[in-house]
Amino acid sequence: MSGSASDRHGGRPGPATPAVPIAKDERPGQAADGAQGGRPARAADGAQGGRLARAAAAGGASGRLGRAAVPPVVWLFGCVVLLLAAVLLSLMVGAAPISPGTVLTALAGEAHSVEARTVLELRVPRTILALAAGAGLAVAGALIQALTRNPLADPGILGVNAGAGFAVALAVAFLGVSGLPGRIAAALAGAAAAAAVVYLLGSMSRTRTAGPITLVLVGLAFGAVLQGLAGAITMLRPQAFTLMRHWETGALNDRTLAMVVQILPLIGVGLAVAFVLAPSLNAVVLGDGPARALGVRLGPVRAGVVVAVTLLCGATTALAGPIGFAGLMIPHVVRWLFGVDQRWIAAFSAVLGAVLLLVADTAGRVVLWPGELPAGIVTAFVGAPFLIVLARRKEASGL
């Protein structure tokens, strides 16, 4: 180990330098740690929480709004205020417009008029459903995009939505299920079964772990098979086609508060799992090798993501039907505006996903007044062109 730096790069010989003794426990590639006794470089990366988040945020794009001196929590507070405004608008707008004072009086339980009953029995359940479904779908999209390291991935690539639809078609056509509670149970079971099959098939590899590319390929193939079978069933069974036609549009109306309450615990658990996994996902998006070097156990993290996506998408699809673009567009926009820290992506996605679905549902009530346009169709009309514009921007294309 003598000679100048030019010797190692093929330059002219320089003056010899004295040899430096190497410690016994020092290995090649750790010369930068020689002054510290040859400690492994990964010792500086012991904590997986805030350190991983800060490293990812410092190494990646900070976001259009994240570059300003305003802390992210201030932007999050602003998004929450926007969410409250969307909630109030959802309770006011409909076939019969209701004033803000009447809405607040009805929520306080001090009114018993027809307008108060309209707010409590019709608009409150669909507003809560829009809140839960929008947050669940957006966070599920953020999780699956981080897991697959694909900013244009959709929660449906794990086959969850296809499994839910297939189970509903099967239950309606062959088991005689006609009520909404039965369809909810069938959709949840189908979503869970599809996710389990995809994960098990993806794990049948040399490494015995379900890698992101394997999960995507297996999920897309299995989902296509289930969608084809569901389509064949609905074509052969007219009663199944009639009952599923409204469900497949992503409509939020005709849901009672008792039905909505049934899926809230599942979405709550899914959101909790997502926020627990968010710090580790900051390392997962860097690649399998860097994630392992930082101490992240990829197997449990991937399994946890699959469980969270199944709970979030399965519960939402069971009650509201397959709603597209919420889980695809919202995380994309959040990364563009606020940066790549997965903890903030999950938080902002939950709030803005709820805002998107609330606004879509509210707009659908007035676009075809006195009729209604399902929220799933509105999100497709709004999300498709908006996503095309964002996908063409370099700032919005990466994780």
DSSP 215-255: HHHHHHHHHHHHHHHHHHHHHH-HHHHHHHHHHTTT---S-
Task: Fill in the DSSP letter of residue 38.
Answer: S
Instruction: Determine the 3-state secondary structure of 376 from DSSP.
Output: helix
User: How many helices (H) and strands (E) are present in the chain, helices listed first?
Assistant: 16, 0
- Gap between the Cα atoms of 169 and 123, Å rounded: 28
> Can you give the pLDDT at residue 152?
73
What residue type is 197 in one-letter code?
V
For the domain covering 64-85+99-106+113-251+264-396, report its CATH number.
1.10.3470.10
What is the residue extent of each domain of the chain?
64-85+99-106+113-251+264-396
> Can you give the pLDDT at residue 344?
94
**CA quadruple 147, 148, 153, 157: dihedral, nearest 10:** -90
- Gap between the Cα atoms of 280 and 245, Å rounded: 40
Query: Mean of the per-residue pLDDT values for the chain?
Result: 78
- Gap between the Cα atoms of 328 and 279, Å rounded: 21
> Can you give the pLDDT at residue 2?
42
Span 234-254, pLDDT tens digits? 888 777 777 777 777 788 888
Q: Are residues 137 and 143 in contact, defined by beta-carbon separation less than 8 angstroms?
A: no
Residue 16 class from Cβ within 10 Å (0-12 exposed, 13-18 middle, 19+ buried)? exposed
**266-296 burial: b if 16+ Cβ within 10 Å, else e:** bbbebbebbeebbbbbbbbbbebeebeebeb
User: What is the sign, positive or negative, of the torsion defined by CA atoms of 184, 189, 192, 193?
Assistant: negative
Q: Are residues 187 and 164 in contact, defined by beta-carbon separation less than 8 angstroms?
A: yes
- The CA distances from residue 304 to 77, 135, 298, 299, in Å, are 28, 18, 10, 9
> Can you give the pLDDT at residue 201?
83
Residue 321 class from Cβ within 10 Å (0-12 exposed, 13-18 middle, 19+ buried)? buried
Q: Which residue do the tokens 């197997």 mark?
A: 299
> Taking the CA of residue 142 as centre, how many other CA atoms within 13 Å lie in the half-sphere pointing to its CB?
36
> Can you give the pLDDT at residue 220?
86
Task: Fill in the DSSP letter of residue 210.
Answer: -
Q: Are residues 28 and 40 in contact, defined by beta-carbon separation less than 8 angstroms?
A: no
Tokens, residue 326: 């919420």
Q: Are residues 131 and 356 in contact, defined by beta-carbon separation less than 8 angstroms?
A: no
- Gap between the Cα atoms of 374 and 378, Å rounded: 7
> Taking the CA of residue 276 as centre, how many other CA atoms within 13 Å lie in the half-sphere pointing to its CB?
14
Please enumerate in sequence order all residues whose Cβ is within 8 A of that of 162, keeping only pairs 6 or more positions apart, or say none.
156, 194, 222, 223, 224, 226, 227, 230
Task: Fill in the DSSP letter of residue 157.
Answer: G
Identify whether 71 is preceded by a cis peptide bond (ω within 30 of 0).
no
Q: Which residues of the chain have pLDDT under 50?
A: 1-61, 397
Task: Determine the length of the chain.
Answer: 399
> Can you give the pLDDT at residue 18?
43
Span 161-218, pLDDT tens digits? 889 889 988 888 888 887 777 877 888 888 888 888 887 887 776 655 566 677 778 8
